[in-house]
Each structure stands twice: as structure tokens, then as C-alpha cells.
């Protein structure tokens, strides 16, 4: 089943990407949530594996995988710094903020990507271009 406009005519997928490509791209973002299972750096390893497996098959997955990796690496750095700042008390405030930002923007990016909308993560260091 394809997407249909208001007149019932089937419309092309947004941005020329198929539903399957958008699903793989969405998974690149969602695999960043693997960090919640308690494995160190799982939030980076999950998107990295997905990106490496699918990047040559889809330009969308390549682009979104890089975005997801950049964001997850950035959040890992921010989380580490906030964790270290616990020793000077301010980390008790910063660490929960980093975790909330990580969760909200990871889910938001996955939903937007699956809907065919280009999403740019804020606060991201561009490691992969």
C-alpha cells in the first residue's frame, strides 16, 4: 500500500525514499536507545552497526546513520562530562538534563525520519559528514 493524497491518488514517498528505507533510517536513530539497557556505549554501537550494514544500500540510511552517530557520540561526551561534574555538585543537575535531551531528541528524530521529514539534532558535534 502506498501513500495517498486527499484525492485518493497514490503519492510518491517523501524525499523519494521508500517506506523500507525510512524504516531502516528510523532504526538508526532508535538503536541509540540501546544505551538504556546498561551496556556501555551501546547507544553508539547500535546505530554504528546499522549504519555500516545499510549505508551502501540507501543514501537516506547513510545520511540518517551519520546524524544518529554524531548525536549519540556527542551525548556520550556530554554525559561523561556531566558525570564528572557530579564531584563538584553541578553534575547532579546537568546529568539528568543530558539524559532527558538524549531521550527526547532520539525519539523525535526517529519519528520525524519515519514520516519523511528531515530532522537536525541540536547540540551535535559533526564527527561524520
Q: Judge whether residue 121 has pLDDT over 80.
A: yes
Q: Where does the pLDDT of residue 8 fall: very low under 50, low under 70, confident under 90, or very high at 90 and above?
A: very low
Q: Where does the pLDDT of residue 15 fall: very low under 50, low under 70, confident under 90, or very high at 90 and above?
A: low
Residue 129 counted as domain residue: no
Q: 43 is in which domain, residue-wise?
A: 21-114
Q: Judge whether residue 12 has pLDDT over 60.
A: no
How many whole angstroms separate alpha carbon 2 and alpha carbon 11? 7
Q: Judge whether residue 1 has pLDDT over 60.
A: no
Domain count, the chain: 1
Residue 97 counted as domain residue: yes
98 close to 80: Cβ distance less than 8 angstroms: no
Residue 121 counted as domain residue: no
Residue 33 counted as domain residue: yes
Residue 39 counted as domain residue: yes
Q: What are phi and psi of 19, to 5 degrees?
A: -60, -40
How many whole angstroms separate alpha carbon 35 and alpha carbon 21? 24
- Calculate the average pLDDT of the chain: 85
| Residue pointed to by grid coordinates 519519528 | 111
Q: Judge whether residue 70 has pLDDT over 60.
A: yes
What's the pTM?
0.82
Give 128 or 29, the one with higher predicted confidence.
Answer: 29
Query: What does the pLDDT average to over 50-54?
Result: 91
Alpha helices in 11-58 (DSSP H): 19-30, 42-54
Q: Judge whether residue 122 has pLDDT over 70.
A: yes
Q: Judge whether residue 61 has pLDDT over 50.
A: yes
Query: What does the pLDDT average to over 81-92?
Result: 93
How many whole angstroms separate alpha carbon 33 and alpha carbon 102? 9
H helix count then E strand count, the chain: 4, 2
Residue 127 counted as domain residue: no
Residue 40 counted as domain residue: yes
How many whole angstroms separate alpha carbon 13 and alpha carbon 66? 22
Query: What does the pLDDT average to over 70-87?
Result: 94
How many whole angstroms separate alpha carbon 84 and alpha carbon 60? 36
Residue 98 counted as domain residue: yes
Amino acid at each position: 500500500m502506498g501513500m495517498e493524497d486527499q484525492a485518493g491518488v497514490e503519492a510518491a514517498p517523501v524525499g523519494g525514499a521508500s517506506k523500507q528505507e525510512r524504516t531502516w533510517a528510523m532504526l538508526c536513530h532508535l538503536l541509540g536507545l540501546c544505551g538504556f539497557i546498561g551496556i556501555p556505549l551501546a547507544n553508539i554501537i547500535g546505530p554504528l552497526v546499522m549504519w555500516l550494514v545499510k549505508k551502501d544500500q540507501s543514501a537516506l540510511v547513510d545520511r540518517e546513520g551519520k546524524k544518529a552517530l554524531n548525536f549519540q557520540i556527542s551525548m556520550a561526551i556530554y554525559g561523561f562530562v556531566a558525570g564528572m561534574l557530579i564531584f563538584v555538585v553541578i553534575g547532579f543537575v546537568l546529568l539528568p538534563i543530558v539524559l532527558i535531551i538524549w531521550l527526547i531528541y532520539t525519539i523525535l528524530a526517529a519519528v520525524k525520519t519515519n514520516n519523511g521529514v528531515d530532522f537536525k539534532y541540536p547540540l551535535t558535534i559533526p564527527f561524520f559528514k
